[in-house]
Amino acid sequence: MLTSSTSASVSEQQIVEGLKTGGLERRKHENALFAQFMYLVKQYEKKYSLPEEEVLGAYSDTILTVITNVINGSFEGRASLKSYTNQIFMNKCVDVIRKKTTNKNVVNRPSSIDNLADVLPDRTRNVIQSLIDKNERYSLMEKLNTLAGKCKQILLLYEDGYTDQEIANQMDYKSADVVKTSRMRCLEKLKEQIISAR
């Protein structure tokens, strides 16, 4: 198992080749990649004045993108793996800032329901909101049930408030970093299910 302490001794070329192999070998190198540039999280947290959780989310998305691009051949090795990862990570952080400074969520939300809810009495508004929440949760659970392997269990434990380390202990993963990478991959799969159902 490659851990944060051993990943520094793994070269970028070894990580790239390891990601292309598949199976357990790929997983080892995914963890090595995750640990290799983890120090960037603190740097970008300070640079962009973002909460650690949001920067970690952007970093996890970055690692998933890099892994996908290495596997499908989009990463051609013209730049170093560090430069490539850093550029994607910077773009992801900028995306987080853009989302915070624009009203995308408000624009995309159906205004007719919001306007209707505003004029209803409090009790009725609460009942309607509760029905909407239940419907969204039911729909989400349907999509969650379609996920294979341990994805469903990881996401449910995380939703229940378990940390990555606690999930690692409970599900016999090697480390919290492995859980984090797996969780982000599972979230991507769930997001794809939700998008395809729209």
DSSP class of residue 73 equals: T
Query: Following DSSP, what letter does each residue of 60-102 receive, concatenated?
Result: HHHHHHHHHHHHHT---SSS-HHHHHHHHHHHHHHHHHHHHHS
79-83 LR contacts (CB < 8 Å, sep 24+): 80/12, 81/12, 81/15, 81/16, 81/33, 81/36, 82/12, 82/36, 82/37
Question: Helices 52-72 & 23-36, crossing angle to 10 degrees?
Answer: 140
Give the chain's mean pLDDT. 78
CA 163 to chain centre: 15
Residue 49 is predicted with a pLDDT of 87
Domain edges within the chain: 4-101, 110-197
Residue 181 scores a pLDDT above 50: yes
Residue 112 is predicted with a pLDDT of 47
Q: What is the mean pLDDT of residues 131-160?
A: 74
Residue 198 is predicted with a pLDDT of 59
How many CA atoms lie less than 13 Å away from 197 in the CB half-sphere? Answer: 13
Q: What is the mean pLDDT of residues 167-183?
A: 88
CA angle at residue 72 from 24 to 175, to 5 degrees?
30
Residue 184 scores a pLDDT above 50: yes
**Residue 39 burial (10 A CB sphere; 0-12, 13-18, 19+):** exposed
Residue 1 scores a pLDDT above 70: no
pLDDT digit string, tens, across residues 61-110: 999 999 989 988 889 888 899 999 999 999 999 888 888 777 444 444 44
